[in-house]
Amino acid sequence: MSFADRDGVIWFDGELIPWRDAKVHVLTHTLHYGMGVFEGVRAYNAGEFGTSIFRLEEHTNRLFRSAHIMNMEMQWTKDQLNEAQKLVVRENNLDEAYLRPMVFYGSEGMGLRADNLKTHCIVGAWNWPSYMSPEAKEQGIKVRVSSYTRHHVNISMCKAKANGHYINSMLALKEALDCGCEEAILLDNEGYVAEGSGENIFVVRDGVIYTPELTSCLDGITRNTIFQLADDCGYQIFEKRITRDEVYIADEAFFTGTAAEVLPIREVDGRKIGEGHRGPITERLQTLYFKAVRGGLSDHTDWLAPVR
C-alpha cells in the first residue's frame, strides 16, 4: 500500500488532517535542496502502561537541536510536539507504531538564497513491523564496509538528523544489499569506523564494549539507552577510534537504532564475527532493551510516555 493512500490522520502544522490530504507542492524547498530535520520514534505496547512512546522527550529534544544546528526556526514548543506525537498514535488507533516528526521548508521561495521560507512540521504514525526478521535478531546479519565515506564534520553538520544526510546512507545500504549483505558500515574521512547506514555500532572484545566516538556519528538515543543498560549490568563501554580490522576480530558486534533496535552482526566483509551468531553480551543487552521498551524494567519506566 502506498504511503500516500492510507486511512488515518496526520498532524500538519498544528492540525489533524486526513491522511490522504497531507500534501505539499512539488516546488517545496526541502524536496529540492534537502534542508530539513526529522526523527524516527517508536511506540510499544508497554503492558500496564499501555501504548507508550519510548524516550519521547529525548527524541523531541534532538529534533529541536537538529533544527537549531540547521538554523531552522521552530514554530512550535517541545510540549506541543510531544502532545502531537501522542495524539497521532491515539487517533490512528495504533497499539504499536513508528512515528515520523519532520520539520521542513515550504514552497514560499526557491533557490539557495531564498529568505522568505517558512518552517512547517508534520507528525505521522503508522504500524511498521520490525526492521529485521526475528531470525536476524538471534543469528545476526551480514554487513559490508562501504566504499562511501561518512560525512566530515566540516562538510555537513553531523550532529543534526538532517534529511539530506541520508543520501549517503541510501547509497551505502544499496551497495551492501547488492553485494548480498543486509547492512553497511561506513568509515569516517580518516578511515575509522563511524556507524551503519542508520545505526550506531558497538563491538565487544574480552568482555569490554567499545563504540566509536561521536565525531561524525549521530548521537543515537538507542545508543544512549545501551550505555545505561550496560552500566546497570556492570559492563564498561569505551568510546574510541575503531579500525575496520578491530571489528573483524571482535568477539561480538551489534548495531543500535530506533528502527534496528539492538541487532547482532554475524559477519563483516566475509569474516565471521566471534562465533558467527549473537553473543552473550549482545543477547543480554538486547533482552534488557526489549524489556525496557515494553515497560518491564522498573528502574526505567521514566523512558515511557503513555499516549493515553
Q: What percent of the chain has pLDDT over 70?
A: 100
pLDDT, position 134: 84
To 5 degrees, how large is the angle CA 190–CA 62–CA 257? 65
Span 26-37, pLDDT tens digits: 999 999 999 999
pLDDT exceeds cutoff 80 at 1: no
Q: Is 263 exposed, middle or buried (0-12, 13-18, 19+ CB in 10 A)?
A: buried
161 in catalytic set: yes
Q: What is the pTM of this model?
A: 0.96
Contacts of 64 by beta carbon, 8 Å cutoff, 6+ apart = 74, 78
Dihedral of CA 102/43/257/181: which sign? negative
45, 95 Cβ separation under 8 angstroms: yes
pLDDT exceeds cutoff 90 at 141: yes
| Cα 188 from Cα 148, distance rounded (Å) | 9
pLDDT, position 132: 79
Span 90-103, pLDDT tens digits: 999 999 999 999 99
pLDDT, position 72: 97
Which residue among the candidates 161, 174, 240, 291 is catalytic per the annotation? 161
| Cα 213 from Cα 165, distance rounded (Å) | 19
pLDDT, position 133: 83
Query: Over the chain, what is the mean pLDDT?
Result: 97
pLDDT exceeds cutoff 80 at 131: no
pLDDT, position 149: 97
H or E segment to which residue 258 belongs:
none
Span 55-91, pLDDT tens digits: 999 999 999 999 999 999 999 999 999 999 999 999 9
pLDDT exceeds cutoff 80 at 3: yes
Q: Which grid cell sits at 285?
A: 543487552
Span 213-269, pLDDT tens digits: 999 999 999 999 999 999 999 999 999 999 999 999 999 999 999 999 999 999 999
Span 188-219, pLDDT tens digits: 999 999 999 999 999 999 999 999 999 999 99
pLDDT exceeds cutoff 90 at 50: yes
pLDDT exceeds cutoff 80 at 156: yes
| Cα 236 from Cα 220, distance rounded (Å) | 18
| Cα 29 from Cα 51, distance rounded (Å) | 35
SS3 label, residue 230:
helix
pLDDT exceeds cutoff 90 at 120: yes
Residue 45 pairs in a beta bridge with: 51
Contacts of 186-190 spanning 24+ positions with Cβ under 8 A: 186/145, 186/146, 186/148, 186/149, 186/150, 187/145, 187/146, 187/149, 187/150, 187/244, 188/149, 188/150, 188/152, 188/212, 188/215, 188/216, 189/149, 189/150, 189/152, 189/216
Q: Which grid cell sits at 156?
A: 555537513
pLDDT exceeds cutoff 80 at 130: no
Q: What percent of the chain has pLDDT over 90?
A: 95
